[in-house]
Structure 1
């Protein structure tokens, strides 16, 4: 039985994504406005697939972040296939976090690369950040960075027990100790705990946790949808607008499939000239379920909750 959407964002009111042209095919996008001008988007596919845009509307294929996979990636899958990158800018350089894993296992790793420009072909891999094994109750994929009160944090997680959070060393971008505390932010009461792809944003006095729920990667049969909760502290607890904790299955529905735009998820948030934008992929029901780039502005209600616009 499907959960009812938040009344203020009923399915028939979901806005379509911003019209984009050029290379629209993408999966798990992370987008940033570059200091040099224009935009870069990285994604699952290729050796971290890259797209560039001058205006945020026309997107051009820009190859891959790397010319070839770093050798250690093959410890986690036979093809050196990276997933779900996250780009950010800090301490005078760009940081690109990503995951390597195989479908259906939590023998997984999160790695990081750095670049002076954020452009494809300029990245230097810095190796592993965090790993998980089949004995762990979490899955080290889908990384996303957030700064809070001068400290650096990484949310991550997929299925298993849901969304997790660890603190990173600001200088290295990696955990300061191998036994860093792994905190729990969100899960579901039912197997297979289908919540993943976290992204945390600060707005006002709250931190907002966005996550993708249900099933991706099945074309027009995908059921991905984006939910959100908030907390006054980075470590939680995160709750929805009814007060239900995200550790107990809570979360306000922000965006789900509508019309041709099926399985909306794999989201991230980026800021552009004072405006927050939601980037995600959807499966185009009018193009055989091809995954494509979705961009919508995020607006904030008087009560401090995000809505897509």
Structure 2
């Protein structure tokens, strides 16, 4: 693998005046830093989008060597994002992208750490490398008004070609709602997964936020495979480098809106879920915020891991998903 120094030191030309900014240059590597990665495919190219200024992005032909692009994926964020979210300064979290009815749809999170004054924005484009148009806000959350956080969106299309979006973090857990044909909310949010039941004495104190509470669950992603919808979520705490204890759990349902249950039949709404992927304490301290896809007859799991080799830096992880006889996913 190439040295992380290549990842961090994007070549730049020096500014000669205060008015000039260094020019960033694209670079290619087989090991790239990525936080909250999702992927999409078009015309022979894979696109990887992740958290960053205006959304970080990279492209690849084989998902092995990636070219990290210099410019933000969203060049100009709409003004409403700053008006709606106090303290938001262009650092976009956890995007998701999907193609539906011949058009690409991009959802992205505007927030500040540990608070639920947040918004999920929407854009559309005809091509992944095309011009993205602002489609406004899908949903907002506000402190003391909402018991959920409008971040970490994931689109899912059910078997009836009906779009849904799942999202959420901490507070009262993972939410889901039906969308209309413009990809805006068409139903009230519904909680479908929690890390702990409210007031559960086993819930550990939150070391990262005095506002978010102890319901340490976030980053939902739903994959339809075979007879079931599979809900992947991240448990516990990200973004703490080598102190992170992030991990991924999964449950399933025959209805996109749940109830989702684990192998023992425990409802994810009541704290259930099967541990699916975590750090091995050798290569990665912890791992989470995932996506999962069926591509060309194979199922793939994508997430970020806090790499011990890079002092807890978040690195892109890709793993092949296998399926048991009773249709549960696992990774060797």
State the TM-score, normalized to the length of structure 2. 0.83
Residue 23 of structure 1: how far off its partner (Å) = 5.6
Pair 1:173-2:183 in alignment? yes
Q: Which residue of 2 aligns with 1:102?
A: 112
Pair 1:117-2:127 in alignment? yes
- Structure 2: 5+ residue stretches without partners: 1-27, 198-202, 204-212
2 CA distance for matches of 1:283 and 1:204? 32
Q: Which residue of 2 aligns with 1:85?
A: 95
- Structure 1: 5+ residue stretches without partners: 1-19
Q: Which residue of 2 aligns with 1:302?
A: 325
Q: Residue 151 and residue 205 in structure 1: after superposition, are their counterparts in 2 closer, same or farther (change >3 A)?
A: same
Secondary structure at 1:243 match in 2? coil
2 CA distance for matches of 1:161 and 1:103? 17
State the TM-score, normalized to the length of structure 1. 0.89
Q: Which residue of 1 aligns with 2:34?
A: 26
Give the counterpart of 1:198 among 215, 220, 226. Answer: 220
Q: Deviations over 1:179-236 (max 9, x none)?
A: x221110012235100000001111211110000000001111110000001111111
Q: Which residue of 2 aligns with 1:207?
A: 229
Q: Deviations over 1:41-63 (max 9, x none)?
A: 10101211110001110011123
2 CA distance for matches of 1:88 and 1:78? 25
Q: Which residue of 1 aligns with 2:5?
A: none
Residue 80 of structure 1: how far off its partner (Å) = 2.4
Give the counterpart of 1:46 among 29, 33, 53. Answer: 53
Q: Which residue of 2 aligns with 1:283?
A: 306
Secondary structure at 2:303 match in 1? strand
The structure number with the bigger radius of gyration is: 2
Give the counterpart of 2:161 among 127, 142, 150. Answer: 150
Query: Residues 53 and 90 of structure 2 are in contact (CA less than 8 Å); yes or no, is this contact kept in structure 1?
Result: no
Give the counterpart of 1:67 among 71, 75, 85. Answer: 75
1 CA distance for matches of 2:114 and 2:124? 29
2 CA distance for matches of 1:305 and 1:285? 30
Detail structure 1 runs of 4+ shifted over 6 Å in the superposition: none
Aligned-pair Cα RMSD in Å: 1.4
Pair 1:249-2:271 in alignment? yes
Greater Cα offset, 223-232 or 201-210: 201-210
Q: Deviations over 1:210-263 (max 9, x none)?
A: 000000001111110000001111111111001111111110000011112122
2 CA distance for matches of 1:132 and 1:166? 14
1 CA distance for matches of 2:310 and 2:39? 24
Greater Cα offset, 261-270 or 194-203: 261-270
Q: Which residue of 1 aligns with 2:139?
A: 130
